[in-house]
Every structure is written in C-alpha cells, then in structure tokens.
Amino acid sequence: MKRLVVATSNPHKVDEIRNILHGFPVDVVGLDKYPDTELPEETGQTFTENARLKACAAARKTGEICLADDSGICVDALGGAPGIHSNRFIGDHSTPEERNQALLRLLGRTPEDQRSARFACAACIAFPDGKTLEAFETCEGVITQRPSGTGGFGYDPIFFIPSLGKTLAEVPQEVKNSLSHRGKAMRAVIGKLLQQAAG
C-alpha cells in the first residue's frame, strides 16, 4: 500500500479524499503528520497550476508522494467567478457561510435559468523527484436562492444538482463522492498512479 500525503491542513478535505479513495491500495494521511510543512501561496492562474504548486512543494518537503487539489465554484452569470478565488473572494478569513451569502447577494434576483455553475477540481500527484500526474474534472449544477442541507462543506449548501433534485449538502457522502468534481478528479489521478506503478 502506498502512502499518499494530502497537501492540505483542512481535515474535512482529508476525510473526504480518504472516503473517495476507499478501496484503492493507498494510505491517505494529511499534513498534520508533517507539521513543519508549509504550503506556498496559490499564485497560479489556473486550478491546475495551484494544485501543482502545492503538491510539488509538499513532496519536496516531506519526501513522500503527495496529492494536492485546487477547486472552486465557477458561476456563469459572474463570468466564471469566483473561480480560483473561491476560498478568499471576500477575504482570507471569511467563513464558508459568509462566502455563500456573498455569492447569493451577487446573484441577487438572477433567474434560475441563468444561475448555472460548475464546481471544478484539478488534482495533482507529485513525487519527490518533481514528476507529476494530473487530472481535471467538473460537476455541473445551479446556484440556489438560499442554502439547504447540512452535509458537505464550502459551497455545497447552495449548489443544486438538477438530476438529483437536491443540493450537494443534502445528499449522502457516498452519493456526493460518486459525482462530485473532487471525486472524479481524485479517482482519475489515482488511476494514473496505479497504472504507472503497474508498469
């Protein structure tokens, strides 16, 4: 079993990735096992660039195979914003609830047929020698008028999946993992890792 270090200090993300990769021959741990590892600022212009920055920095520091992702929500009516700035578009210390409310205020009374959006996720696995494996996936949905549901995290309570008739915060974790941007990207990049390991 390969040890895979998730380059994040967010325990919710580590748990979600561990759940997504359940059944794969990898031992998923977070950076809490490597407290001296500091991640670089997300200075990339794309999700992929930011994921690569974090994964490569963590791999160099820990000497382990590291997995990082960068994800966010892209709202069509806002020209694709907040995009790569999803976690800090109203300030570095804002809460998920504050970001959700800010996004809903920006959309205002925008009609439902113009509230299309997608979650995007870039995943990168980096090796200590600098080599990388990458994947990029999306999940299509609609921004609701108000938050609904207590599961998930981040923008999940305002991201509605038409085919399910629910927000991502209203569905069981295994359902979310099967269709989410992060779930698809993680499975894709781990598939590349296992394929490479198999030669």
- Which residues are designated catalytic? 70
Neighbours of 107 (CB within 10 A): 18
Which 3 state secondary structure label does DSSP give 80? coil
In which order are the strands placed within the sheet that holds 66-75? 26-30, 2-6, 66-75, 116-126, 132-143, 159-161, 166-167
Q: Are strands 166-167 and 159-161 parallel, antiparallel or unpaired?
A: antiparallel
